Structure 1
Amino acid sequence: MSPRIGVITFPGTLDDVDAARAVRYADAEAVSLWHADADLKGVDAVIVPGGFSYGDYLRCGAIARFAPVMTSVVEAAAKGMPVLGICNGFQILCEAGLLPGALVRNEKLHFVCRDQWLRVENNATAWSTRYDQGAEVLIPLKSGEGGYMASQETLDRLEGEGRVVFRYVGGNPNGSRNDIAGIASENGRVVGLMPHPEHAIDALTGPSDDGLGVFFSALDALKPLATTA
């Protein structure tokens, strides 16, 4: 049986369809999850996709983190369920306390939309095992509030524990501290990143198919569960 990966839709979500398509490209089953429904429908992993949940009012992700579905996601993550937050999803995971730090307005206050090179710093998380450590991948970036900020103590902890998963190379597009593009939870099961791997799954429609590794990695993380099921 194929793993079932839930993709959440909030009011203002833009990239849920693309995320579901990426899940199917990785030979998993994409399951639609609604923000107002706490039922995760028995999925094995969850993706919180990009967009502008609730119009980005207050702060990006600040309202979405109170949605009923996020209460269930936080509980499931505490039990080890793999969770991926992309762009606005990364912001939501930080607001929900699943990842440390916060995402703020880009350094020059401009919306950035470009194909961005990333370096894989940690290939041992639930969402990065299909990459070689140190590999450079080309992934689209599109965000106005993508600057990753955290206290120096938090940054030191992330760096010291190897929890920086992706780092910008070839120039920092948004002023993120330490050129951080993506980070992981302590157990490596929860990952958030600002660039959009779901837009890089097919060389015909994206700058590369480098993003596929994120979704195939989740299958690796779920294999032990399938074995014991």
Structure 2
Amino acid sequence: MAKVRTLVITGYGTNCEVESAYAARAAGSDVTDIVFFSDIAAGRTRIPDYNFLIFPGGFLDGDDLGAAQAAAVRWKHAKNAAGDALLGQLKTFFEAGGLVLGICNGFQLLVKLGLLPALGGDYFARQVSLANNDSARFEDRWVTLAANPESPCIFTRGLTRLDLPVRHGEGKLVPKSPEILDELVKTGAIALSYADPATGETTMEYPQNPNGSPLAIAGLTDPSGRILGLMPHPEAFNHPTNHPGYTRGERPQLGTVLFENAVAHLRGHA
């Protein structure tokens, strides 16, 4: 049985690394390390030494130039002390079967790096971005999500619905072209969608869809299903009492189930 080694990257404004690491440990990760980007860039930590990589939420670089844009530039040009490009480490990690989870700001970073949605297997080419919410305000609320049964996403296997909190100002998905949206549907790249809590059906209605994202897109996966990026925060729903309906007897599925699915997958893969 393979060991699960989780790397949670922090620094430059990230502020959800502790909750993300807690969720990974609660899901059964054998090793869970919180590491600053600067330590990775300096070569003190190597990404391929892990098999579960988490980009947590936060406000990378204060969202200057757009959410996670400055961080994407940093990743694309960073090299460690030996002169090895960090994107090369990411490629090695992924080709070895590693899983990647990007939450909120981490999702914004993944799309700007081009790791999502990677339609046609075209990794590291930007195909979509995330822009300001239609409400022109920061949205901090709970939402209902519908999981796509046709998606190859490993993280959402067996799921139909999730209740999770959102807290973001730039969560509206913007495709490079209308054809990109069509491909997202055809390939099952839309792993999670905003849904009406009463019906479970996807919705464009505000505030159930808090940002106006087309096709109610809340989360994307890549063709392999081993990368997931989502705007809501699964790590923030790690105990039944976190949910606003707890005192009314509501007991929805915890957000940590995404981490549990990741750990279960890695346990079965050397």
In the superposition, the TM-score normalised over structure 2's length comes to 0.77
SS of 2:102's equivalent in the other structure is strand
**Identical residues among aligned pairs (%):** 33
- 1:210 paired residue number: 254
User: Kindly tell me: are residues 206 and 30 of structure 1, through their superposed partners in 2, closer, same or farther at Cα, counting changes over 3 Å?
Assistant: farther
One-letter amino acid matched to 1:204: T
Q: Distance in 1 between matches of 2:171 and 2:181?
A: 16
- 2:164 paired residue number: 139
One-letter amino acid matched to 2:66: R
Aligned partner of 1:125 among 153, 170, 177: 153
How big is the shift at 1:78? Answer: 4.4
- 1:42 paired residue number: 49
> Given that residues 152 and 188 in structure 2 are in contact (C-alpha distance below 8 angstroms), is that contact kept between their aligned partners in structure 1?
no
Q: What's the C-alpha RMSD, in Å, of the aligned pairs? A: 1.9
SS of 1:54's equivalent in the other structure is helix
Q: Distance in 2 between matches of 1:54 and 1:80?
A: 30
How big is the shift at 1:210? Answer: 2.2
Q: Distance in 2 between matches of 1:102 and 1:87?
A: 13
Aligned partner of 1:162 among 188, 200, 204: 188
> Given that residues 45 and 82 in structure 1 are in contact (C-alpha distance below 8 angstroms), is that contact kept between their aligned partners in structure 2?
yes
- 1:13 paired residue number: 14
Q: Which ranges in structure 2 are unaligned for 5 or more consecutive residues?
A: 80-85, 117-126, 197-207, 245-251
The number of equivalent residue pairs is 223
Q: Distance in 2 between matches of 1:15 and 1:157?
A: 32
Q: Could you say which structure has the larger radius of gyration?
A: 2
Which residues in structure 2 correspond to 1:181-196 (within 5 Å)? 181-196=218-233
One-letter amino acid matched to 2:257: G
In the superposition, the TM-score normalised over structure 1's length comes to 0.90
Write the deviation string for residues 119-146 of structure 1: whole angstroms up to 9, x where unpaired. Answer: 01146422122x33xx221001110001
How big is the shift at 1:153? Answer: 0.8
One-letter amino acid matched to 1:167: S
- 1:33 paired residue number: 35
- 1:83 paired residue number: 100
Q: Distance in 2 between matches of 1:44 and 1:81?
A: 4
- 1:111 paired residue number: 138
One-letter amino acid matched to 1:52: F
SS of 1:204's equivalent in the other structure is helix
